Amino acid sequence: MNSILLTGLLHLLLATAPFQDEAPGPADAVPAPSNIRGAQFPRIHPDLRVTFRIRAPEARQVVFGFFDDQRYPAEKDDEGVWTATTGPQVPGFHYYRVFIDGAEVNDPSSETYFGTGKMTSGIEIPEDGADFYLPKDVPHGEVRERWYFSETTQQWRRIFVYTPPGYDEGGQRYPVLYLQHGAGEDERGWPNQGRVGFIMDNLIAEGKARPMLVVMEQGYARRAGDAEPARPPGGRPDFTRMFSAFEGVMVEDLIPMVDATYRTIPDREHRAMAGLSMGGMQTFQITLKHLDLFSSIGGFSGAGGGFGGVAFDPETAHGGVMADADAFNEKVDVLWLGIGTEEPERMYQSVKNYHEALEKAGIEHVYYESPGTSHEWQTWRRSLHEFAPLLFGGAPEAGREAASPDDREAAGPAGRPGAPRRRGQGPPIVLNPDDVPAFPDPPAGFDEPRDGIPRGTLEMISYESESVGTTRRMNVYTPPGYSEEREYPVLYLLHGIGGDETEWQRFARPDVLLDNLIAEGAAEPMIVVMPNGRAQQNDRAEGNVFAGAPAFAAFEEDLLNDVIPAIESRYSVKADREHRALAGLSMGGGQALNFGLAHLDTFAWVGAFSAAPNTKPAAELVPDPDRAREQLKLLWIACGAKDNLLRISQGVHAHLKENDVPHVWHVDGNGHDPTEWKNNLYLFVQRLFR
């Protein structure tokens, strides 16, 4: 390279390098982590004072200022360098600016962030002992940028999407949190200032939050053809029109695009929305009008009451959606409010008053105060850190699969301070003295295929259902050596609310499990029938699967009048009650108790694993204890000690115990998960037909 050109480039680099590189600061202070690479200032002292420095030889006055009106005039040295040291600052992220002879500029030594309506200098002041928002040696997800076209605004819009660790490695589907920024910020706020990626990575790695997608949009919108948002005196935009347009973007454009583009679980139970400040108000406006789309709601320094100081009345607010507290509590899984203790008085009181009004009205919710923080990112980071673990049933147990509708309803942070009651969750888990395992856990490898043993056959068959009025399917296992010359007992095995005729095979591989047990002589050769317990024309687990709950009750007729006759006409079976068993998991467990105990002339063996809220009251299940004692060969009630549906099985067990009805009561250490169900199937089938 030409030596003159090289020399010129070096001079240019030196001339444009931050002054801080040339002058190390005081030894008791360290460069802020938000400085550009190599910059020595701003510097943070042990007592959290901050020293700012900038070169401006021709300036007559320099002032450094935060956006809470703190101002620090700087002093100039002989080299034209201006320096100012602040008082102690609150840990967290803060926007700041430099005034040079009255002109507001950014600090060239600090990273800039979109906040306060423009690109602005920012400083990160570490919080001693807090690392929940910092990178750690854990699996990391990704924050991805995506553009899409909005029909509402007739413009291209940008979003950022956090995908959890392992997203690209399989076909798993995920719940979604839509997370909004505040006024003066945009979709970059949560990824940059909010550290959303690190917060979620750390929560997921610690087992505190369920893997989920987090979608971050800009909260500003204008419908195509509208004039620019009107600005009343004072320069504030017309929030009513802007919020309405953004609602259209969310409901009509964004959610459909996300569900079509990413592997989501596209129903309300797996969709949440939260936001800070303005984004919190937008969240409440949108979600409370569209509870068909969202099951969880979060407001961080912003909620449905706004900041106007108007008294909030749940009877009339939000179109009266909260007027019936019981109905609202049943429908909403998580309602969450957060505020910093040092926020401006009108903001603090507005959110606190909203909380107190909800409490008085009997609306279940979580209220959180971030100690010592104001209307700033540390409040909102802490809020996300507290909010995310409550979503979508809470964190999975170690080794569990991602949320499915079967386990989502029950899983959750039982007993977590301030946690709301989820549908079907009830109060925190309380174990009784006899809530203990009746049998040891199965041995390792019990559900793994073994070499050198005979294998049965698994086939999907169709049958005509007169009760449903359509052709339906069921999965059927026939044991090794199945022969028409021999008659076999039959186990009818029912799935959960989010499953179908394939769910048991996905969760437990009953064919492998039975092959192994039969080879050991530990189980009788039997036929296992896995039908679809959703008795309706479209029996697929699509959309809001909970809306199909009535079809599970209707399955009683299909089971008795269509499924059993179809099996007994096609296979060589022992067609009597002593050789018929009925069992199921979760929703199917409730069906097994409801149908099996109501038809003791049809079933002598009944098993319920993690029975769901569809289970009838215990006294209704067993109205005649004498008959139950006489006719039941085996009644198996099982649930995990970490399952928030345990109370349902406890109630059945207590009634049976009080009325001296023999039964197995098995409470192991699992949650509402596939491990619980395959373990119980292993234990249950060994005791059938003997």
The closest alpha carbon to 47, from 78, 18, 9, 90, belongs to 90
pLDDT greater than 70 at residue 164 = yes
pLDDT score of 469: 96
- In the prediction, which pLDDT does 286 show? 92
- CA-based angle 421:346:282, to the nearest 5? 55
Cα separation, 91 vs 106, whole angstroms = 21
What is the pLDDT at residue 179?
96
- The pair phi, psi for residue 168, each rounded to 5°, is -85, 0
Q: If you ran DSSP here, which 8-state letter would residue 562 be given? A: I
* DSSP letter for each residue of 607-662: EEES--TTSPPHHHH-S-HHHHHHH-SEEEEEEETT-TTHHHHHHHHHHHHHTT--
Which residues is 104 bridged to in the sheet? 99
Residue entry with tokens 């056959």: 457
Helix (H, G, I), strand (E, B) or coil at 319: helix
Encode pLDDT of 545-556 as tens digits. Answer: 667 789 999 999
pLDDT of residue 305: 53
pLDDT (0 to 100) of residue 47: 92
Of 492, 679, 470, which Cα lies nearest the Cα of 584? 492
Is pLDDT of 21 > 50?
no
Reported as a single tens digit per residue, the pLDDT across 523-549 is 999 999 999 999 999 998 876 666 778
What is the DSSP code (8-state) at residue 438?
A: S
Burial of 137 (0-12, 13-18, 19+ CB in 10 A): exposed
Please enumerate in sequence order all residues whose Cβ is within 8 A of that of 25, keeping only pairs 6 or more positions apart, or say none: 31, 40, 41, 43, 51, 53
Residue type, 59: A
Q: Higher-confidence residue: 93 or 306?
A: 93
pLDDT (0 to 100) of residue 245: 86
Helices (H) and strands (E) in the chain, counts: 19, 27
User: What pLDDT is recorded for position 237?
Assistant: 57
The pLDDT-based confidence of 12 (bands split at 50, 70, 90) is very low
Question: Where is average pLDDT lowest: 456-465, 502-511, 600-609?
Answer: 502-511
Q: Which residue has the tokens 């803060």?
A: 94
As a whole number of angstroms, the distance between CA 644 and CA 670 comes to 11
Residue 70's pLDDT band (boundaries 50, 70, 90)?
Answer: confident
Are 179 and 274 contacting, i.e. CB atoms less than 8 angstroms apart? yes
Maximum average pLDDT range among 104-113, 273-282, 412-421, 558-567? 558-567
Parallel/antiparallel/unpaired status of strands 366-370 and 334-340: parallel
**pLDDT above 90 for 577:** yes
| Residue 158: band (very low, low, confident or very high) from pLDDT cuts 50, 70, 90 | very high
Q: What proportion of the chain, given as a percentage, has pLDDT over 90?
A: 68
pLDDT for 429: 81
Residue 649: predicted pLDDT? 96
Inter-residue contact 257 to 152 (CB < 8 Å): no
Rounded to whole angstroms, the Cα distance separating 88 from 50 reads 7
Alpha helices (H) in 508-604, listed in sequence order: 510-520, 549-558, 564-570, 587-598
Whole-angstrom Cα distance, residue 617 to residue 647? 12
Bridge partners (DSSP) of residue 605 are 581, 634
Neighbours of 662 (CB within 10 A): 12
Question: Which of 576, 660, 649 minimizes the C-alpha distance to 615?
Answer: 649
The pLDDT of residue 255: 93
pLDDT tens-digit readout, 308-344: 444 567 777 777 888 888 899 989 999 999 999 988 8
The model's confidence at residue 474, banded by pLDDT at 50, 70 and 90, is: very high
pLDDT of residue 25: 58
pLDDT, residue 378, reads 93
The answer for residues whose C-beta is within 8 angstroms of residue 373's C-beta and 6 or more apart is 90, 92, 340, 341, 342, 343, 379, 382
The amino acid that residue 283 corresponds to is: T
What is the model's pLDDT at position 346? 87
**DSSP type of residue 399:** T
Contact status, residue 393 vs residue 411, Cβ threshold 8 Å: yes
Average pLDDT score over residue span 93-122? 93
Q: What is the pLDDT of residue 7?
A: 38
What is the tens place of the pLDDT at every residue in 176-198? 999 999 988 999 999 999 999 99
CA–CA separation, 267 vs 259, rounded Å? 10
Structure tokens at 495: 């799935």
pLDDT at 428: 64
* Cα distance between residue 556 and residue 575, in whole Å: 18
**pLDDT for the residue 543:** 65
Q: What are phi and psi of 160, to 5 degrees?
A: -115, 140
pLDDT number for residue 311:
59
Cα separation, 305 vs 302, in Å, equals 8
Neighbours of 676 (CB within 10 A): 28
pLDDT of residue 20 exceeding 60, the answer is no
| DSSP conformation class of 323 | S
- Identify whether the C-beta of residue 348 lies closer than 8 Å to the C-beta of residue 368: no
Q: Which pLDDT does position 407 carry in this prediction?
A: 42
pLDDT one-digit tens code per residue, 248-296: 899 999 999 999 999 999 999 999 999 999 999 999 999 999 999 999 9
490: Cβ–Cβ under 8 A, 6 or more apart, which residues? Answer: 526, 527, 528, 529, 567, 571, 573, 574, 579, 580, 581
The structure tokens listed for 512 are 């492998």
